[in-house]
Amino acid sequence: MSREGGLGKTVCMLTSIHSAFDVRIYEKEARSLTSAGFRVVIVAPHDKNEQREGVEIVAVRRSVNRLQRMTRGIWDVYRKAKKSDALVYHFHDPELIPVGLLLKLHGKRVVYDVHEDVPRDILVKNWITPILRKPAAFGAALAHFFSALVFDGVIVATPAIANRFPSKKTVTVQNFPRLEMPEEVSSHFYADRGPLVAYIGGISDQRGAREMVRAMSFLRGFPEARLILAGEFEEFELEQELRETPGFEKVDYRGWLKREAVGDVLDATRAGLVLFHPFQSYMEAQPNKLFEYMSMGLPVIASDFLLWRKIVGDIGCGLLVDPLDPAEIARAIEWILSHPRESAEMGRRGAEAVRTHYNWEIEEGKFLGFYQQLTNGHKI
């Protein structure tokens, strides 16, 4: 899309859950729209209103708990979004479906950006009473389908999610990294790194937190090895439990990190871990962190899912393991640390795959094409 294609048109992105500088929302979609000439406003939980790289951030108060976020927080997002008087409202969280419907009643164009398979995710949410999970998942599936009939378009992060929505209104824009990476990681540089592996992202039991920590207690050949754990715990109780788990003495917990700090961590490590449990929603997912690791030239240690086997296995960019077996995870870590030359070559193959196939620059064309069609003919 030419810059003139979006000139003067305002897109307001809404989130009640994600950071204002979320990778998909800000780094990819907002920056792409701004470069194409759109005015972009992001309404999100943040400390202050600000402008960065041409993107306007409108802050809403951070919620102290889930109930507050899904009541007062949603209302705050709606009020501030409506003030932007945008041409398109682009929301990113399922809890904002009612906000999208309200905006449609005001004659606005509304886009729903679906990051995850929400109905299947509900089935593994610990905060939902088990007996209510199936009814809640069914309700979410119905809400998704029928609300999508009302909205002007749906953007989904994976082909599997696209199956839940009307094909004529849906475009798949996969969550691959931007081509902002070193051209190549040399074997010599890689071999100079310490015995470190890393996991970056939300920390939960379903995403393998327990197994990653326990795996560190099985390492025998590398007593100095460390796991860098960066992200926020989804449950306070899990953090307390893991701190008492064998292996945590070999964990360097960094908490939530800014984007630049994440890059520094990945520049120093030997492998990236993606050890999601074998739930259907995860087995069909394409987690951003997998491709971020690859983009940085890191070999990955990943769950042995059929879809991931087609990526990691076919490319030869890492090792696949049973995510429920800490001893097997430990053996994979020891192999990576024991074979720096082969591991560096795995990382090189992963980075090359991102450069040629799994990158935002390819997905950006679909994303901007969708917006061109959505806004075509609008008179400013």
Average pLDDT over residues 27-54: 96
Tell me how far CA of residue 373 lies from CA of 5, 233, 267, in angstroms. Answer: 10, 40, 40
Domains of the chain in start order, with CATH, are: 3-176+359-375 (3.40.50.2000), 187-356 (3.40.50.2000)
β partners of residue 51? 56
Give me the torsion for CA of 334, 340, 344, 346, rounded to 10°: -40
- Is 359 in contact with 178 (CB distance < 8 Å)? yes
Average pLDDT over residues 357-361: 95
Give the rounded percent of residues in the chain with a pLDDT score beyond 70.
Answer: 95
pLDDT at 209 over 80: yes
Average pLDDT over residues 190-200: 94
Average pLDDT over residues 107-134: 86
Average pLDDT over residues 308-333: 97
User: What count of other Cβ atoms lies within 10 Å of the Cβ of residue 47?
Assistant: 10
Banded model confidence at residue 379, pLDDT cuts 50, 70, 90: very low
Average pLDDT over residues 163-188: 77
Q: Which of 18, 28, 193 is nearest to 96 (CA)?
A: 18
Which 3 state secondary structure label does DSSP give 164?
coil
What are the backbone dihedrals phi and psi of residue 70, each rounded to the nearest 5 degrees, phi first?
-85, 5
d(CA 358, CA 157): 13
d(CA 164, CA 229): 33
Catalogue the E-assigned strands of the chain. 10-14, 39-45, 50-52, 55-60, 88-91, 109-114, 153-156, 170-172, 196-200, 226-230, 251-255, 271-274, 300-303, 318-321
d(CA 356, CA 349): 11
d(CA 119, CA 121): 5
What pTM does this model have?
0.86
The secondary structure of 11-40, three-state, reads EEEECCCCCCCCHHHHHHHHHHHHHCCCEE
Q: Among the ranges 182-196, 204-218, 254-268, 277-291, which has the highest mean pLDDT value? A: 204-218
**Burial (CB count within 10 angstroms: exposed 0-12, middle 13-18, buried 19+), residue 256:** middle
Run of H or E including 293: helix 288-295
Identify the pLDDT of residue 119.
Answer: 77
d(CA 136, CA 132): 6
Identify the pLDDT of residue 156.
Answer: 96
Look-up of token digits 């199956």: 163
Banded model confidence at residue 373, pLDDT cuts 50, 70, 90: very high
- What confidence tens digit (pLDDT) does each residue in 63-91 have? 888 888 888 999 999 999 999 999 999 99
pLDDT at 294 over 60: yes
Q: Among the ranges 5-9, 93-97, 120-124, which has the highest mean pLDDT value? A: 93-97
pLDDT at 154 over 90: yes
pLDDT at 152 over 50: yes
Q: Which of 161, 154, 170, 143 is nearest to 280 (CA)?
A: 161
Task: Kindly give the pairing relationship between strand 50-52 and strand 55-60.
Answer: antiparallel
- What confidence tens digit (pLDDT) does each residue in 225-235 have? 999 999 999 88
